[in-house]
Chain A
Amino acid sequence: DAGVIQSPRHEVTEMGQEVTLRCKPISGHDYLFWYRQTMMRGLELLIYFNNNVPIDDSGMPEDRFSAKMPNASFSTLKIQPSEPRDSAVYFCASSFYRGHEAFFGQGTRLTVV
């Protein structure tokens, strides 16, 4: 397996624009997580899914952020409208079952100017 695949690797956008980050989890994994990493706050969980259903979105900063998982092999994280404070590295991770270790993708570095 190629591991968790994220795209794009880098994204630079202007304030106010819509941004969509994409993730393909490891085949067979039934948990998918979206994290954000910044120097100030470290790694923060935004939302996670189990069997394509959102379980906990308490980490989503505000209504500008939304996440979907239309099927077991694809998820998106959308920011609309984007703001400079959204600049961070966004990671997607997946795991096999409850309590098991999560495997991370390479991340998407988002810069909002």
Chain B
Amino acid sequence: EDQVTQSPEALRLQEGESSSLNCSYTVSGLRGLFWYRQDPGKGPEFLFTLYSAGEEKEKERLKATLTKKESFLHITAPKPEDSATYLCAVQFTGGGNKLTFGTGTQLKVEL
């Protein structure tokens, strides 16, 4: 069965304390892996798409990487405004345009 698992469920960091979020997947064939950010009371906001192992994408303090089994979202020197829930989703072969989401990592960055 196709599954997406994110860890940790929650993460508390001090401002400037770098860390990584994990998204592991078991799918029959990966077409794409997506990272979204969700703020309370809002819809998910698109961050990155990764298509093949070895691919990396960067945006400000965020960097996403992809291997054959997992993806990491690295947060370098985070700021309080990076606090949000980060969601990972996959599209898999035979799944059409369906996005299967993980349950997310709730990140809080404190001063």
Tell me the A residues contacting B by CB distance below 8 Å.
4, 31, 33, 42-45, 48, 50, 55-56, 91, 93, 95, 98-107
Q: How large is the interface on B (under 10, 10 to 19, 20 to 34, 35 or more residues)?
A: 20 to 34
Question: B97 and A55: CB pair below 8 A?
Answer: yes
Interface membership of chain B positions 75-110, coded 1 if the CB is closer than 8 angstroms to chain A and 0 otherwise? 000000000000101010000111111111000000
Which B residues lie at the A interface, using CB under 8 A?
A: 31-32, 34, 36, 41-46, 49, 87, 89, 91, 96-104
B42 proximity list for chain A (CB < 8 A): 106-107
Other than the given A42-B101, A104-B45, 7 more pairs (CB < 8 A) read A43-B89, A45-B99, A91-B43, A91-B44, A101-B49, A104-B43, A105-B43
CB neighbours (8 Å) of B49 from chain A are: 100-101
Number of A-B pairs, beta carbon distance below 8 Å: 50
Closest to B47 in A: A101
Give the complex CA separation of A99 and B32 in angstroms. 7
What are 14 pairs between A and B in contact, CB < 8 Å? A4-B43, A31-B97, A43-B44, A43-B87, A43-B89, A45-B100, A48-B97, A55-B96, A56-B98, A93-B43, A95-B97, A99-B31, A101-B34, A107-B42
